Amino acid sequence: NAGVTQTPKFRVLKTGQSMTLLCAQDMNHEYMYWYRQDPGMGLRLIHYSVGEGTTAKGEVPDGYNVSRLKKQNFLLGLESAAPSQTSVYFCASSYPGRGVGNQPQHFGDGTRLSIL
Amino acid sequence: SQQGEEDPQALSIQEGENATMNCSYKTSINNLQWYRQNSGRGLVHLILIRSNEREKHSGRLRVTLDTSKKSSSLLITASRAADTASYFCATVLTSGTYKYIFGTGTRLKVLA
């Protein structure tokens, strides 16, 4: 039982390049999330999905796109990478549960992305 | 701006001592959750307290919630070196948007 798996673990990009981060969960969770973690700022929500085929914007969505074509996968794309997007990216998933947010989130171990 | 703010930002204690960290938030919440993050790893859920609860225990963890003061505290009793980590509170707003708002975290170091 792998839980939440993020690919790749590390990546260095040049400004203007594009890439896709992959998140896969094997817990049959409905909800999936992408966060970025920067020093001194905690986690900030980029985009989230409440089910296959649906996505929504979070707190800091600019410069990112997402897709949820399969329930178990949530992809985060950077179309034209910028140095300000250097960060650690975390994916999380959760059950809907009873009521909004009444379930814990399960996190992957992150993707460390540097943009030069 | 962040919904949750932890205090202190960093805490260093001796093994066996208790560690207390606090979280303040700004708007009405559905529940509040605490997470631990070991260096280089993802966050791990510790405990959830609902808005109508005042105190909750789980092993060596004790969480309190004061909705009138919009604050929560996490107490780790008899701390161990393995408790060294960052601790985050996360609030789920009552707006029904499925969004978890994480605080900036408290870095705890337990010295053996």
Q: What is the pLDDT of residue B1?
A: 38
Query: Helix (H, G, I), strand (E, B), or coil: what is residue A83?
Result: helix
For A42, left (φ over 0), alpha (ψ -120 to 50), or beta?
Answer: left
Instruction: Name the average pLDDT for chain B.
Output: 90
What digits encode the pLDDT tens for the residues A55-112?
999 989 999 999 999 999 999 999 999 999 999 999 999 987 666 567 889 999 999 9
**Are B42 and A100 an interchain contact pair (Cβ–Cβ within 8 Å)?**
no
CA distance A56 to chain B (A): 10
Please report the number of interchain residue pairs, chain A to chain B, with beta-carbon separation below 8 angstroms: 69
Give the residue from chain A lying closest to B104, CA to CA.
A42
| Cβ <8 Å between B30 and A99 | yes
How confident is the model at residue A91, as a pLDDT? 98
The DSSP annotation for B43-103 comes to EEEEEEEETT-SEEEETTEEEEEETTTTEEEEEE-S--GGG-EEEEEEEEETTSS--EEE-
Residues B54-81: what's their mean pLDDT? 96
- pLDDT-derived band at B5 (thresholds 50, 70, 90) equals confident
Chain B nearest-CA distance from A18, in A, is 24
Which residues, in sequence order, are bridge partners of residue B50? B31
DSSP strands (E only) in A1-116: 4-7, 10-13, 19-25, 31-38, 42-51, 54-57, 64-67, 73-78, 87-94, 106-107, 111-115
pLDDT in tens, A4-43: 999 999 999 999 999 999 999 999 999 999 999 998 778 9
**Chain A residues with CB inside 8 Å of B104's CB?**
40-42
